[in-house]
Chains A and B, each alone.
Chain A
Amino acid sequence: MSDQQDSSPSMDVLLRGFWKENPVFVMVLGTCPTLAVTNKVINCFAMGISVMFVLVMSGLLISLLRNFIPKQVRIASFILIIATFVTMVDYAIQSISLDLYDSLGAFIQLIVVNCIILGRAEAYASKNGPVKSMLDAVGMGLGFTFALLCLGVIREALGNGTLMMDTPFEISLFGPNFAPWSIMILPPGGFFVLGLELALFAWLRKRRARRTAAAAQA
Chain B
Amino acid sequence: MTTEALQPATAQAAQQGSGESMRMMRTLGGIALLSGCLLSLVYQGTRERIALNFESRVRNAVFALLPGSTQQKTFEFTGVDETGKETPFKVYAGYDEAGNFIGTAMETSDGDGYGGEIRLLFGYLPDKDQVVGITLLLCKETPGLGDKIKTDDGFKSNFTPLDVPLNPDGSALAVPLSFVKSGKGGGPGQIEGISGATISSKAVFRALCRGTDMMLPVIRRRLAELKEGMT
Contact = CB atoms under 8 A, between A and B. Distances in A.
Mutual binders A and B: yes
Interface of A: 39, 65, 68-70, 72-73, 76-77, 80-81, 83-84, 87-88, 91-92, 94-95, 97-98, 102, 180, 182, 185-186
B143 A98 contact: no
Q: Is the interface of A mostly helix, strand, loop or mixed?
A: helix
A91 B40 CA distance: 11
A80 B28 contact: yes
B46 A70 contact: no
A80 B35 contact: yes
B151 interface: no
Interface stretch (B48-56, B105-113, B215-223): B48-56
Nearest to A74: B27
A81 B143 contact: no
Contacts of A76: 28
A186 B31 contact: no
Contact of A186 (B50, B54, B144): B144
A181 B119 CA distance: 27
Nearest to B137: A102
A73 B57 contact: no
B80 interface: no
A200 B50 CA distance: 42
A94 B144 contact: no
Counting from the closest, the 8 A-B pairs by CB-CB distance are A182-B144, A95-B49, A84-B35, A95-B46, A91-B46, A73-B24, A94-B50, A88-B42
25 contacts: A70-B23, A70-B24, A72-B20, A73-B27, A73-B28, A80-B28, A80-B35, A83-B35, A84-B35, A84-B38, A87-B42, A88-B39, A91-B42, A91-B46, A94-B46, A94-B50, A95-B46, A95-B50, A97-B53, A98-B53, A98-B57, A102-B138, A182-B144, A185-B143, A186-B142
Nearest to B144: A182
A102 B119 CA distance: 13
Q: Is the interface of B mostly helix, strand, loop or mixed?
A: helix
B43 interface: yes
Nearest to A181: B144
Interface in B17-70: 20, 23-24, 27-28, 31-32, 34-35, 38-39, 42-43, 45-46, 49-50, 53-54, 57
Nearest to B41: A88
A56 to B, nearest CB: 15
B145 interface: yes
Contacts of A77: 27-28, 31
Contacts of A180: 144
Contacts of B32: 80
Interface string B186-206: 000000000000000000000
A87 B39 contact: yes
Which of B24, B54, B142 has the largest count of A CB atoms less than 10 A from its CB? B24
A84 B54 CA distance: 23
Given A77-B28, A84-B35, A91 B143 contact: no
Contacts of A95: 46, 49-50, 53
Given A92-B46, A182-B145, A84 B39 contact: yes
Contacts of B145: 182
B31 A182 contact: no
A70 B53 contact: no
Given A91-B46, A95-B46, A182-B144, A69 B53 contact: no
Contacts of A97: 53
B142 A94 contact: no
Contacts of A68: 27
Interface string B145-186: 100000000000000000000000000000000000000000
A91 B145 CA distance: 31
A185 B144 CA distance: 9
B143 A182 contact: yes
A71 B48 CA distance: 40
B31 A81 contact: yes
A71 to B, nearest CB: 10
Contacts of A69: 27
